[in-house]
Structure 1
């Protein structure tokens, strides 16, 4: 086992950049929302929220491949086979680029149908099409950029992931200000700002791998569908966690429209931004520990694997409490970034539902890290149970029950109840995985020969 000091150092080295990168991703959408709200209006803010499920789906696809690839690549590096790791890295990059091109074409050809499916109303349709139609042009940069960002950590350069996303974030903020407030380009300007920022982050990461500074390089490879299948199977749990955000927003939007009314979509937009920031923090912790756990699992060092897990769980516990307290104390200030307090009724309503919703922050992190840890030790089925449970099945059923019992108020407590239910199963699964590591670590590691 590595000594505790070295493990803590590695934990910080990987988790801090990972969380920072996820925060920056959250801030992309949040900054768009703030500038659109101030520069265009509340209906435009609702339109950006309506478009969010599509963006989350794109991001989820990138996670599907990048999480699976980083697990396989990290395990392969742990076994000392750098050449094979580079082949897997190159294969993954080519595959996501091809998928990106296909998605772009299909999305542009079905823009109207896509907007309707996402829930665009008569008053928001124009805004949704302007925002979404522009974002689609940059799909390839969204997907490939994040994939390279995750794999640059496996290459031993987690700090570069932070640098890349900060460059992108600053670009996004500056261009949002110019395009939306100064040039009055509206929601389309916000979308262009985000897209251009993604182009820059892609360029930064791509140049790193071209320079061949690390262990991972672009090399010749065989188009091995068995490896692609394994990448996908490993990435499904984290993919489910992210795609759940798209599904939940879509279901919540429809429920709000039917049970409360269109005006509540504006309040829910604010809730979504804060929820995304907290959830991606938990995902950042989860993804930060994954390459380390995978590496030590590949080396059959069970003590180090469990030590990293415990560090992750402790960090999540602290982060959950802090997130909850920040929302409870500063709810008014948070809401004021998006909604003017001139509209007292809307402002107070949003503050109240944000505080109620924040109860979920106390629980969700444990579930996310449990799923991510299962991925890192190649327990995809266990991870999938947690992710699918919290992401789609349990939340959907809980939402229906809460609405039947409490009407519109039930919408805002459904997430908390859902996460609690999943927590029971996640706790049992984590115990099983710990026991399995202690007894059989190394016996079931599946790597391509």
Structure 2
């Protein structure tokens, strides 16, 4: 049903429908990149200060707790991207009332999911961390850290989800500022709590949740000041249809994070098991893998930020049937992500020891393993921009099934089986070689579906011109 706010001039009045694609991409992608970097910064800052103040076991503990962070991200993207994509598609079609309902339903779901995850983590904390691969020495550190960070889960989920709605409403700078202020607070409080007050893992966790709560408050304020819609009581009436559509269009981004969580859990257990059978022992591989995962998050923050920055542009123009602008925006995003991938590849291959050293000291064996892991596991970083950008592209045009499939290619279809099978024959080195093989296979699959979709968009464009 069309909204009463629908007008034939909607796509002409909104800059998303007529502004130059490259200008829009820069305007939306940069704040998204900064927001993603801020999210990564929470983990990176904790890792650095914990490594310097607590040591290798502290670094290993944050790696054990990391699947819970990715679970939070998965939920927030499911609800944030899902509601924002529906928001953009209906806004492009001129249906403002529907856009408001998707925003309200998304916010309600964020609250329910965030509180539920907090309760589950608090109740099942110890068995959960053991399942994630915690060794006897690492478990106490992981418990101290996660018991506190779980309090921040509802705020983290809501803030990250709301930031996607703020972006879809055309306010990327506000979204960025909200995330940035929380990260600055976390960065300031980390050394105070860890070194000055000597609070160790508990201090790092407290600094994290305080920053998350402040960001949440800033984002919540915007929910009452949307530019393109107005939220009413009716907007918060949760319906099965709206929830289903949110889940469908948020599934791609969510499943990608869930896949990362599953892979991280399996990898932690594999590294601990085969590491114990090697000269490295079980704790060194866990600590190194955690650092490398979080360093890779910095690179992926740029790529994912670019892909998320295209969502309002692609979603609005697809809804407005401006197909040339859709394909142009996608190709621009893919080109930018590829350039960044080349830069990341050079850094990972040339400076692995210097990067690892920033996270604290260790034995020579520790650095040897880290360097090999960096150079082998991240060898095909050069093509890692293709899958996230393509997955988000399909999701933004409403093709949720293809988006979900693209998001699962690397992690579930290729990487997960390989990190289980390869170590059986190659020991702990098998985990390292699984990475580049999965990267290459995922890029081939994404390339095939991308070419097919771009041809379809060209045909739609030609049909629209004829009509």
**TM-score normalised by the chain length of structure 2:** 0.91
Residue 219, structure 1, aligned to residue 232, structure 2 = yes
Aligned CA distance change for structure 1 residues 203 and 217 (closer, same or farther; 3 Å)? farther
Q: 1:327, 1:358 within 8 Å by CA — same for their partners in 2?
A: yes
Aligned to 2:88: 74
Among 265, 281, 294, the alignment partner of 1:250 is: 265
Q: Which runs of 4+ in 1 moved over 6 A?
A: 1-5
Aligned to 2:426: 406
Residue 302, structure 1, aligned to residue 323, structure 2 = yes
Tell which deviates more after alignment, 30-39 or 357-366: 357-366
How far apart are 1:3 and its partner, in Å? 9.7
Q: 1:296, 1:304 within 8 Å by CA — same for their partners in 2?
A: yes
Q: 1:363, 1:416 within 8 Å by CA — same for their partners in 2?
A: no
Aligned to 1:331: 352
Equivalent residue of 2:384, what SS? helix
Unaligned runs of 5+ in 1: 444-449
Q: 1:18, 1:285 within 8 Å by CA — same for their partners in 2?
A: yes
Q: Distance in 2 between matches of 1:271 and 1:380?
A: 31
Aligned to 1:446: none
Aligned to 2:129: 115
Aligned to 2:78: 64
Aligned to 2:414: 394
Q: 2:114, 2:153 within 8 Å by CA — same for their partners in 1?
A: yes
Tell which deviates more after alignment, 142-151 or 73-82: 73-82
Residue 192, structure 1, aligned to residue 203, structure 2 = no
Among 194, 202, 206, the alignment partner of 1:180 is: 194
How far apart are 1:441 and its partner, in Å? 6.7
Among 221, 226, 229, the alignment partner of 1:207 is: 221
What CA deviation, in whole Å up to 9, does each residue of 1:326-351 have, x standing for no partner?
Answer: 2223222211111316x222123212
Tell which deviates more after alignment, 276-285 or 67-76: 276-285
How far apart are 1:384 and its partner, in Å? 1.5
Unaligned runs of 5+ in 2: 1-11, 277-281
Among 8, 26, 31, the alignment partner of 1:17 is: 31
Among 361, 365, 387, the alignment partner of 2:381 is: 361
Aligned to 1:281: 302
Aligned CA distance change for structure 1 residues 29 and 195 (closer, same or farther; 3 Å)? same
Aligned to 1:447: none
Instruction: Report the number of matched residues.
Output: 441
Over aligned residue pairs, what C-alpha RMSD do you find? 1.9
Q: Distance in 2 between matches of 1:3 and 1:118?
A: 46
Among 360, 363, 375, the alignment partner of 2:395 is: 375
How far apart are 1:26 and its partner, in Å? 0.7
